[in-house]
Chain A
């Protein structure tokens, strides 16, 4: 029989004994072998480990044991998720040779659910970037057009799913690093509510903003994967102590009567007309499915970008202080420890990471703390208040995911501010700690995918996924460019 391609279908077929996990994994490893030389989605392919894990799933099926809800599902892991004994690089030279002594909670949960990790995916170094050009291992290419970026920072995880190397993957989203590459590669990407998914074993970038989430080609697959990794974890003190939401079961409930607000600040200046056009088309599709559509203002969203690029670097400058050549990774020898620390960090970090560390150090330094970091934290309050007001009138909000479709290599990499502007639509949700997801909705004028973003209040995933399923059903074919 033809092998199933979605995670949902693979798990069902493997659990029923219709196909073996080994066949499924072999087929995906073959696809990676054949195609990844030109995409560079993976930093490391775990062929032997994946075959062994698949064999273990098949043995369970043969023995009549429950192989788990993700039985035999190949999954790609962003290379900032710790895997015990397996190199975890964050696409940085400074973690050269590091093999973590523990698994991230999400990695453990996936294995427990029967999923099979096929490899570690490329990212902007330490998840800092919007194009995956800031990787020590070279850029990842967009499978829809190899001359264009896949977005970032989880560009490898988005490209792996778009290229068919794995039906699902995990990424991390600090300011849009799941949703923006999902939009640019034409796949689904979800940033869950802060605290819904354990961050234990996710290498920290900005701890009050980071959240792990899924990529997939269908809404149902993201629901399945998120259900498997979500839920309380005593190893993460910011983990929400509540049961994980049911998502797969709500997908067919429709959007009848749901109130959806189009965010006016994210539909005008700076947003490409074809992208805005697709978002309006998506709103019309939701209306046709029974939702009530209105416009809503989130005024403080305009300040989100500025606040984010003070808060995230400030947290990063503190989190990345640990890379000092003492306990793991790279060491550049020097006569004293202070000189060794500096020589190691200078050689080990790339340009964007250095920029952010310096920006954060400056924003936190004496004399500037109140003007920059302190102000940014207050703007964060304004954003939370604006969202609260918006969610009094609406169940969900709708906006573009990214202001443009995928851009070309080199277009923005030397202009940090231009690169940062990619995140203008995605950042406010991270600052508020809310969930949001990107759903593909047709192509732009250049034929590249457009992603529309659904935003929900904290723990509003179930409603968000219902609307995502409605958008998926109504999405125009990618083959028809916007005109």
Chain B
């Protein structure tokens, strides 16, 4: 069953998740994730066409509150945790590839 998950699949998923893998890691993860997915094959094989999904254990409803000003996190305290800030904002490297 491991043939369902290929090395290329793992490389693609790693890219989507913004993880860089070495060649050796690609081999290891392909094997390990394949084993877990093999185990999950019993679920994938079930005929559950008439069963509704359960995404959450509670019947969830939107929780609203009155639109009044309440205490919130202190901006300076929050920004103090960031690797880089500028003018009260989070600073990041170039986003579109231009020189900063």
| Residues of A near any B CB (own CB < 8 A) | 98-102, 194-195, 208, 234, 237-238, 240, 303, 305-307, 309-310, 317, 321, 324-331, 333-343, 345-346, 349, 354-355, 357-359, 361-362, 365, 371-372, 374-382, 384, 416-417, 420, 431-434, 458
**Interface residue? B69 (CB, 8 A):** no
6 A–B contacts, CB within 8 A, in A order: A98-B81, A305-B39, A331-B83, A341-B18, A343-B20, A346-B19
With A238-B58, A333-B93 known to touch, is A355 a contact of B43 (CB < 8 Å)? no
Contact of B58 among A310, A417, A433 (CB under 8 A): A433
Tell me the complex Cα distance, A212–B19, Å.
29
Complex contacts, A240 vs chain B, CB 8 Å: 58
Complex contacts, A381 vs chain B, CB 8 Å: 51-54
With A375-B44, A381-B53 known to touch, is A326 a contact of B18 (CB < 8 Å)? no
Complex contacts, B8 vs chain A, CB 8 Å: none
**Interface residue? B92 (CB, 8 A):** yes
B54 x A384 contact (CB < 8 A):
yes
Q: Mark B3-33, 1 if CB is under 8 A from A, else 0.
A: 0010001100110111110000000010011
Complex contacts, A309 vs chain B, CB 8 Å: 36, 39-40
The 9 closest A-B pairs by CB, nearest first: A433-B57, A377-B53, A331-B83, A378-B48, A380-B54, A101-B77, A378-B51, A306-B43, A237-B63
Tell me the complex Cα distance, A355–B51, Å.
29
B58 x A194 contact (CB < 8 A):
yes
A101 x B78 contact (CB < 8 A):
yes
Interface residues on B, range: 35 or more
Contact of B94 among A98, A330, A335, A420 (CB under 8 A): A335
Nearest-neighbour CB distance to chain B for A311, whole angstroms, equals: 9
A417 x B92 contact (CB < 8 A):
no
Nearest-neighbour CB distance to chain A for B94, whole angstroms, equals: 5
Contact of A357 among B19, B60, B78 (CB under 8 A): B19
A325 x B36 contact (CB < 8 A):
no
Tell me the complex Cα distance, A480–B83, Å.
54
**Interface residue? B42 (CB, 8 A):** yes
B40 x A306 contact (CB < 8 A):
yes
**B15 nearest CB neighbor, chain A only:** A342
B43 x A379 contact (CB < 8 A):
yes
B57 x A208 contact (CB < 8 A):
yes
**B84 nearest CB neighbor, chain A only:** A331
Nearest-neighbour CB distance to chain B for A414, whole angstroms, equals: 9
Tell me the complex Cα distance, A384–B52, Å.
12
Complex contacts, B84 vs chain A, CB 8 Å: 331
| Residues of B near any A CB (own CB < 8 A) | 5, 9-10, 13-14, 16-20, 29, 32-33, 35-37, 39-40, 42-44, 46, 48, 51-58, 60, 62-63, 65, 73-74, 77-78, 81-84, 90, 92-95, 97
B43 x A376 contact (CB < 8 A):
yes
Complex contacts, B13 vs chain A, CB 8 Å: 358, 361-362, 365
A416 x B36 contact (CB < 8 A):
yes
Tell me the complex Cα distance, A321–B44, Å.
26
A326 x B90 contact (CB < 8 A):
yes
B19 x A342 contact (CB < 8 A):
yes
**B50 nearest CB neighbor, chain A only:** A378
Complex contacts, B46 vs chain A, CB 8 Å: 303, 375, 378-379
B10 x A327 contact (CB < 8 A):
no
Nearest-neighbour CB distance to chain A for B12, whole angstroms, equals: 8
With A238-B58, A346-B19 known to touch, is A336 a contact of B81 (CB < 8 Å)? no
**A371 nearest CB neighbor, chain B only:** B44
A358 x B14 contact (CB < 8 A):
yes
Complex contacts, A331 vs chain B, CB 8 Å: 83-84
Contact of B81 among A99, A420, A434 (CB under 8 A): A99
Tell me the complex Cα distance, A303–B81, Å.
42
B48 x A379 contact (CB < 8 A):
yes
B73 x A377 contact (CB < 8 A):
no
Contact of B33 among A335, A336, A362 (CB under 8 A): A362
Nearest-neighbour CB distance to chain A for B96, whole angstroms, equals: 8
**A374 nearest CB neighbor, chain B only:** B53
Contact of A234 among B5, B39, B65, B73 (CB under 8 A): B65
**B94 nearest CB neighbor, chain A only:** A336
Nearest-neighbour CB distance to chain B for A362, whole angstroms, equals: 5
With A334-B93, A377-B53 known to touch, is A358 a contact of B39 (CB < 8 Å)? no
Complex contacts, B42 vs chain A, CB 8 Å: 303, 306
Tell me the complex Cα distance, A121–B47, Å.
43
Complex contacts, A336 vs chain B, CB 8 Å: 93-95, 97
Complex contacts, B94 vs chain A, CB 8 Å: 335-337
With A307-B43, A342-B19 known to touch, is A327 a contact of B60 (CB < 8 Å)? no
Nearest-neighbour CB distance to chain A for B11, whole angstroms, equals: 10
Complex contacts, A343 vs chain B, CB 8 Å: 20
Nearest-neighbour CB distance to chain A for B48, whole angstroms, equals: 4
Tell me the complex Cα distance, A100–B73, Å.
10
Q: Apart from A327-B82, A372-B37, A417-B35, list 15 A-B contacts with CB within 8 A.
A: A101-B81, A234-B63, A325-B83, A327-B78, A334-B93, A335-B93, A345-B17, A361-B16, A361-B17, A375-B48, A377-B53, A377-B55, A378-B51, A416-B35, A431-B57
